[in-house]
Amino acid sequence: MCREVSSSTSISDMGIRNCNKRFCTPDNPMEQENLWEVGKQVGMLCRGEEMEVITEYGRMEVRDEEMVKDSQEGGNMLCNDNY
């Protein structure tokens, strides 16, 4: 008898919200490192230096904060070639 085995690696919406509450706090200096650790747990790989990934997460956070600020001021960041 042959049995086919499948596995599910999906993450629920509640799991994502809980993760965000734990790891994505503005006063957490380890936010980018924690985000990378979660990424590795779900199977993300880095072909270069892990610190480059962590640094890029920091750049993305700055970019996102600028986009939120601009959208609150009525701007349209989608037309900005920098993003």
Model pLDDT for residues 47-60, shown as the tens digit of each residue: 999 999 999 988 98
Half-sphere exposure of 13 (CA within 13 A, CB side): 0
Say how far apart CA 33 and CA 74 lie, in whole Å: 32
Query: Is residue 74 a part of any domain in this protein?
Result: yes
Provide the Cα torsion 57, 63, 67, 70; round to 10°.
150
Query: Is residue 39 a part of any domain in this protein?
Result: no
DSSP code of residue 48: S
DSSP code of residue 1: -
Return the top range by mean pLDDT from 18-22, 39-43, 71-75.
39-43
Q: What is the domain extent for residue 78?
A: 47-83
Query: Is residue 16 a part of any domain in this protein?
Result: no
State pTM to two decimals.
Answer: 0.53
Query: Is residue 67 a part of any domain in this protein?
Result: yes
Query: Is residue 53 a part of any domain in this protein?
Result: yes
Query: Is residue 27 a part of any domain in this protein?
Result: no
Q: How many domains does the chain have?
A: 1
Say how far apart CA 12 and CA 26 lie, in whole Å: 23
